[in-house]
Structure 1
Amino acid sequence: MTLEILTPERKLFSGDVYGVQLPGIDGLFEVLDKHAPLVSALKTGTLKILKDKHSTVSYSIQSGFAEVLNNKTTVLVEGANEA
């Protein structure tokens, strides 16, 4: 699965990943390979990139949106810092 994380200032991350865990408005959810199409609002919280089954990278994000389409997840957030 391809993941892109974008802020108004820059592209924070772009690459192939195992999955991503996102802080949705109604709670955490996870997107893995071949996930169904989805658009979701995100709240301030922690985004975890699952690089593989044993390696993760975390970012503290501000609110935004996530779109999943054709095995690509695009995350648009107001701001983010590596946790």
Structure 2
Amino acid sequence: MYLEIVTPEAVLFSSEVDSISVPGIEGEFQMLNNHAPIVSILKEGNIKIHTHTKQHLVFDELNGHISTHADDDKILVLTIQSGTLEFKDNKAIILAD
């Protein structure tokens, strides 16, 4: 699946990923490839990006807010205050604050 995380300032992340876990208003949930289309409001918490490998990712000053999970270096973590998620046709777009 393709994931794009956008803030009012910049695009923080844009790449192919294996899955994502997000802090929904009813609790954390995960999306894998071919997930049903969904639109959801996100609350304060961590977005966990599960990658197969980090070789294809480019880290620069725009996505300096993304860190590696303490237990697994193939999981990237981004803390958000709130946001909106749209998932359709194996593409997830997160508008985050």
Q: Please list the CA deviations of residues 38-72 of structure 1 after superposition, one character each: whole Å capped at 9, or x if unmatched.
A: 00000010110001296100011110100000100
* TM-score between both structures, scaled by the size of structure 1: 0.90
CA deviations on 1:14-35 (whole Å, 9 max, x unpaired) are 0000010000000000011011
Structure 1: stretches of 5+ with no match in the other structure:
79-83
Aligned: 1:44 with 2:44: yes
**TM-score with structure 2 setting the length:** 0.77
Q: Which has the larger radius of gyration?
A: 2
- Normalized per residue, the structure richer in strand is 1
Aligned partners of 1:19 and 1:49: how far apart in 2? 6
Q: Which runs of structure 1 show a deviation greater than 4 angstroms over 4 or more consecutive aligned residues? A: none
**More displaced 10-residue stretch of structure 1: 68-77 or 47-56:** 47-56
Aligned amino acid, residue 48 of structure 2: K
Separation in 1, partners of 2:50, 2:39: 20
The count of aligned residue pairs is 78
Unaligned runs of 5+ in 2: 54-71
What is aligned with 2:63?
Answer: none
Q: Which amino acid aligns with 1:37?
A: P
The secondary structure found in structure 2 opposite 1:35 is: coil
Decide which of 64, 75, 78 is 2:83's aligned counterpart. 64
